[in-house]
Amino acid sequence: MPIRRIHYGELTLFDINWDDVLIPKITAYLSIKDLFNLRSCSRTALRLAEAALEMRTELHLSGNNSRNIELGFKVLSRCCRRLEHLHLASCKWLTDELLLPLLNNNKQRLSAVNLNECTNITALSLQPIIVQCKELRILKLSKCQWLTTGAVDALTLHQSKLVEFDISHCGAIGERCLIIFFRKLNKLTILSLANTPSVTDQVLIQIGNYCRELEHINLIGCAAISDYGVHALTKSCPHLQSLMVQRCPLVTERVLAPLRGRLHIDRPIMGYNLPAMQHRLYLQV
């Protein structure tokens, strides 16, 4: 009896199991641009691309200011549901209206948020990050002039597990606000306060008292700090590996010299006889 062949039609890429193969083994290696190209091929391709976006854990768009990106971002806001790392630094087009839906859909998992130089959003966008992102560990808000004392006060109430924090060039935050804030951050390892006018010796003392795990600190352009604050900080943070103090006129080699060799200091020695200075410091002690 002859064998009858049953014809089921031609197999395509989309017949491969999506959950076990296509999404974790193939689309996971495609860029966002690749997924959007795939999305435009057919209705089935659109469903696959959007299913892949839903499983994405990272979104990197920093510096991407290409034409009509706002339209693509609305698709991302709707589809992405499992983001853990969100990088949107220098996205000049970003607004509260665009960002809030994405944050609300991913607030349970987000652990790293980079909004450096996002100048067209407001403190309103921080609300879901501050209150509902319980897994938040990294927050970068450099050059966000909209960051206010009230927003930092809210961070103080809701976020105590940050390991990296950047508020460089944020001039609207007060000294007292920072002093209270750093009392809760005992897990902090990386801190950038560059060109933040309200950073004083008292702020550094609080950082030293409570942020004992600190490894790297950027104080470039903090004109109000002096040897007193830097000494208090470095004495209290045994894990400190780097100290950036360029353009800090009140910080002198008197406090920096004993630290050289123990940790990286961004400011070179200029016009000092280091051995002689260390000897004088030893005699003064």
Whole-number pLDDT of residue 12: 84
Whole-number pLDDT of residue 3: 43
Cβ proximity of 249 and 267 under 8 Å: no
Mean pLDDT by groups of 10 residues along the chain of 285 residues: 51 88 92 94 95 96 94 96 98 97 96 97 94 96 94 93 97 93 95 97 97 98 97 97 97 96 90 46 41
Instruction: Provide long-range contacts, Cβ within 8 A and 24+ apart, for 256-264.
Output: 256/230, 257/281, 259/234, 263/234
Residues contacting residue 222 through CB under 8 Å, at least 6 positions apart: 193, 194, 195, 196, 197, 199, 245, 248
Whole-number pLDDT of residue 277: 47
Whole-number pLDDT of residue 7: 45
Provide the 8-state DSSP code for 124: G
pTM of the shown model: 0.88
Q: Where along the chain do its domains lie? A: 13-55, 59-284
Q: What is the architecture of the domain spanning 59-284? A: Alpha-Beta Horseshoe (3.80)
- Cross-strand bridge partners of residue 165: 139, 191
